[in-house]
Structure formats: structure tokens, C-alpha cells
Structure 1
Amino acid sequence: MSSSQDEHIILGQINGIYGVQGWVKIFSHTEPRENILNYSPWLVRVKGEWRTMSLQDGRSQAGGKSIIAKLDGVDDRDVAREFMGCDIAITPDQLPDTDDGYYWRHLIGCEVSNLQGEVLGQVSEIVETGAHDVLRVTQILPGGETRTTLIPFVMDTFILAVDVDAKRIQVDWQADDEDSDT
């Protein structure tokens, strides 16, 4: 799987300080929240510039509801305060391999076609619903109008094949299903 070295995956944000020894509070987008601590180094966006920072220590607090971290070189409260509001990211090569060979982000932009060979559009978003995720497939119609089709991401039922290298997804879904918005 190839990726650009300039690509960053935002995992969270520094949203506070903790104590007097340079610890920071972290808002994590990972699931579970403490998974953000499995990555180091972090790329921290400070005043618009990405800075590589190693994670010295970290832990969850309050039963996993909050995360605190200690970054190398941040040894007091005043220095830690300078990082408040800064995004935390990693590069794609820091992600572990997946069983199916792709992450949701790889599906964005994939062309979706059905068993009849009809192109339904491109994946524009993946919506988390709780029960199962849903592909939002957008098609530009003649005249510039768009049609959005929502397709449940259920492998072997609606999603038949995913080829992220070719940027194609084959689905068992009809083009004229009533679940489409215009």
C-alpha cells in the first residue's frame, strides 16, 4: 500500500494541561480513546507547522474518559500550555496492517458499480450508524445535479468486492433503489 509522506492522519488534539511537570490532556479520536497512546512519534501541528514529538509516557484517567500524555522535551506547565489546541497526527506508515488490507479512508473516491455494471457514483463519505457503517455514494448527473445513494457496508451481502488499488467497489444494489436522494 503506497502513501504520501506528506499525508497526515489526525488522531486527536491537545486540549489542556495536567499538573506542573508538562503533562497534557488529550482529546482522542481513536476507538478506544487510549489507542492514541500506541503511536509514537506524534506529529503535532504548532502554529501551522508539523513538529515530530516522541511520547514519553501516557495513560487513561477517570475510567478511560480522559487521556493524559507526557511528551519528550515538555517539562513544565508553561511549555505544555503552548501546545493547547494543537492537532495530533501520525503518518499512514504508522498504522498497523488490517485483516482486509484497507482502512475506511482508502474507500473515499472509489467508484461504486453494481452487478449490472451500472456506475452508482463515488464514495464521498462513510457514515457511522452504530449497527453498521454506510457508504455515501455520490453521482453527478447530467445538468450538474447530484444523486446520493446510501449503501450499508455489509460484506458479502451488499458489498461484494473492494479493490482499493483500482479504486473500485462492486455492490449488490440497484441503481433505482428508493434509498437514493436527489
Structure 2
Amino acid sequence: MERRVLVGRIVGVSGTAGAVRLESWTDPRTQIFRYQPWILKSGSGEREIRGCRGREQGKGMIATLPGVDDRDQAAALIGTEIWVLRSALPAPKPGEYYWTDLEGMDVATVDGVALGQVSHLFATGANDVLVVRDAERERMIPFVLEHYVKQVDLDARRLVVDWDPDF
């Protein structure tokens, strides 16, 4: 199964004709409409849709979705996650990585000590952080290229870090 990327979430309704308000995590946020089809995922399941259109409005985004024609249908989608296939996204620039591409990678120190696998990442004000887990512990390693992260090998699915295994 191809890897998916979470790119947004439906957070409300707009008007009576079925438009939804959404939160976009793409940069710029309007880019979400270029990555289609969308896979809408909620507690009741998931479905794939194409032809979503929208625009910025104030601090948010307004979207129209095919087959959503009234306020009740739109309200039923509040909380729905918007996913796209990884292949729908453009290739990252050199030295940039999609978090989804790093998740699951093996992590080892520059001395060859295995630290586990990347569970997930999160953002801080200063830098992103790798959460690396093995059977015994969890480590949080700043994702700072050249300083802590020495090598990213997407083909081998391996990261090499300059990190004390006891920390």
C-alpha cells in the first residue's frame, strides 16, 4: 500500500450550499488543492474524492467538495482528515524531507550503535525533532542536518546521527 500524507482537516461549514472550512498543513496552504485525489478519513471510514476546489478566506480556507451539496452533508464531515498519496506530492528540494519519508527509518549512531526506528516527528520553534523508539526506550533527537543528523539514506531507509546512545 502506498504511503499517505496527512495534509489537512475539515473544521467547519461555510454557508448553506455545502462548502466546508478546512485547515491546510501544506505550504503555501492553498497548495492542498493541487494534491488530489483526496482521501477523506473519519471514524465512519474513508473515501476518495477528486475535483475539490477552494480558496483562502480570512485566516482559513473554504472548499467545495463534489457530492457535498448542503449544510447537513458538510457538517457531517467536520473532523474528517484529508490525506493524499505520497506520490501526489512534488519531490522535496535537496536537503529537505517529508516527515512521512523519514518515519519507520532505522537510526544508528556514527559509531554504528542501533537506536531504533523513527516513530514520528514533531515541530518545535527551533527545529523539528525525531522521535526514535526501540524495545526499551524513546529518544528525542533534534533533526538538525550536519550537526546531529549526519546522513539520510532514503534508499536504504537509514539515518546516521551524532548522538550519545545513553542520552
TM-score grouping bracket, smaller chain normalisation: 0.7 to 0.9
Give 2:51's match in structure 1, choosing from 51, 54, 78. 54
Quote the residue 1:105 is aligned against: 100
Superposition pairs for residues 72-87 of structure 1, below 5 Å?
Answer: 72-87=66-81
Amino acid at match of 2:83: A
CA distance in 1 between counterparts of 2:6 and 2:18 reads 22
Residue of 148, 154, 160 corresponding to 1:158: 148
Are positions 1:44 and 2:40 aligned together? yes
Measured at CA, do residues 12 and 173 of structure 1 come closer, stay the same or move farther in structure 2, by a change above 3 Å? same
Distance 1:22 1:159, change over 3 A: same
Structure 1 stretch displaced more, 124-133 or 32-41 = 32-41
Name the CA shift for 1:27/1:174 in 2 (closer, same or farther; >3 Å). Answer: same
Distance in 2 between the 1:153 and 1:34 partners? 27
Name the CA distance, whole Å, in 2 between partners of 1:82 and 1:17: 9
1:8 to 4, 10, 26: 4
Deviation at 1:102, TM superposition (A): 4.1
Out of 31-40 and 164-173, give the one that drifted further.
31-40
Q: What amino acid sits opposite 2:133 in the alignment? A: T
When normalised by structure 1's length, the TM-score is 0.77
Determine the structure 2 residue equivalent to 1:172: 162
CA distance in 2, matches of 1:107, 1:21: 40
For the pair 1:68 / 2:58, whether they are aligned, the reply is no
Q: Could you say what secondary structure the match of 1:93 adopts?
A: helix
Distance 1:44 1:122, change over 3 A: closer
Secondary structure at the counterpart of residue 131 of structure 1:
coil
**Percent identity among equivalent residues?**
41
Please give the per-residue CA displacement for 1:146-177, whole angstroms capped at 9, x wherever unaligned: 2332222111121111112212111122223x
Task: Tell me which residue corresponds to 2:87.
Answer: 93
What does 1:132-151 align with in structure 2 at a 5 Å threshold? 132-140=127-135, 146-151=136-141
Rg comparison, structure with higher value: 1
Indicate how the Cα distance of structure 1 residues 43 and 159 shifts in structure 2: closer, same or farther if over 3 A, else same.
Answer: same
- Superposed CA RMSD: 2.3
Structure 1 position 107, deviation (Å): 1.5
